[in-house]
Amino acid sequence: MSSPNSPRVVIVMGVSGCGKSTIAAMLAGRMHWEFEEGDALHPPANVAKMASGQPLNDEDRAPWLEAVAAQIDAWRTTGRSGVITCSALKRRYRDILIGDRPDVRLAFLKGSKEVIANRLAARQGHFMPAALLDSQLATLEAPSEDEHPITVEIGPRPEVIVARIAEQLEQ
Ligand SMILES: Nc1ncnc2c1ncn2[C@@H]1O[C@H](COP(=O)(O)OP(=O)(O)OP(=O)(O)O)[C@@H](O)[C@H]1O
Ligand SMILES: O=C(O)[C@H](O)[C@@H](O)[C@H](O)[C@H](O)CO
């Protein structure tokens, strides 16, 4: 396990609209760690594809996952800790992001389709159409126990969710 001063990274994962950006930014603030919005690392073609209502495939996601992994490594090799958002829907995507990096933890935001659909319907100014939620949920492989995820229900207020994640990180 890591010593208290070694860099640590949390990937906040889950389908579109589960709250990754909201929770990750607050968690980074609470931990005094860096924050990176994984969506900002998509090639422009991916954003255009999603905005046009088409789901990404494995090939589309490959360069994006590499960019997320590169950010994680940039933090780790320079001794910094950080929180990054990444839907990381499939196990094999998470294997790219985590691999043998022992200080990288998953925080999985888990919620019902109904709650997420309601939040997406209310959200404005985001490229991701709510219509892609079905495909996101169909693609999601929830992390299994051997991935040691911190799994949190998305129902409560963001402050509560962040506190729950922080408590588990501090254990
Ligand atoms: N715990 C919460 N309670 C109520 N509303 C929330 C909560 N978390 C997030 N929201 C709201 O739900 C919407 C979706 O959250 P957010 O944009 O953070 O999700 P996301 O997973 O980052 O989405 P995407 O992957 O599409 O970027 C936003 O409008 C946000 O303000
Ligand atoms: O893997 C994917 O299908 C995409 O990366 C999406 O999950 C988006 O990044 C994001 O969640 C929408 O804003």
CA distances from 168 to 28, 49, 68, 78 (A): 14, 36, 23, 24
pLDDT of residue 6: 76
Per DSSP, 18 falls in state S
Q: Where residue 7 falls among pLDDT bands split at 50, 70, 90?
A: confident
Higher-confidence residue: 10 or 2? 10
Give the architecture (CATH level 2) of 9-170: 3-Layer(aba) Sandwich (3.40)
* Domain boundaries along the sequence of the chain: 9-170
Give the residue-averaged pLDDT of 99-128.
95
* 2 has a pLDDT exceeding 60: no
Q: What mean pLDDT is reported for the chain?
A: 95
* 76 has a pLDDT exceeding 70: yes
Q: Do 50 and 129 contact (CB within 8 A), yes or no?
A: yes
ipTM of the complex: 0.97
* 67 has a pLDDT exceeding 60: yes
pLDDT of residue 152: 98
What would the pLDDT profile of 17-61 be if each residue is shown by its tens digit?
999 999 999 999 999 999 999 999 999 999 999 999 999 999 999
Nearest CA to ligand 2 atom 4: 87
* 3 has a pLDDT exceeding 80: no
* 72 has a pLDDT exceeding 60: yes
Q: Do 150 and 106 contact (CB within 8 A), yes or no?
A: yes
From 11, 37, 39, 61, the mutation candidate for ligand 2 (largest count of ligand atoms within 8 A of CB) is: 39
What would the pLDDT profile of 145-161 be if each residue is shown by its tens digit?
999 999 999 999 999 99
pLDDT of residue 171: 86
Ligand 2 centre distance from Cα of residue 76 (Å)? 24
Ligand 1 centre distance from Cα of residue 158 (Å)? 9
pLDDT of residue 4: 53
Extended strands (E) in 96-162: 104-110, 150-153
pTM of the predicted model as reported, rounded to 2 decimal places: 0.96
Q: Where residue 1 falls among pLDDT bands split at 50, 70, 90?
A: very low
User: With a 6 A CB cut-off, is 55 part of the ligand 1 pocket?
Assistant: no
User: With a 6 A CB cut-off, is 89 part of the ligand 2 pocket?
Assistant: yes
Return d(Cα 129, Cα 111) in angstroms, integer.
18
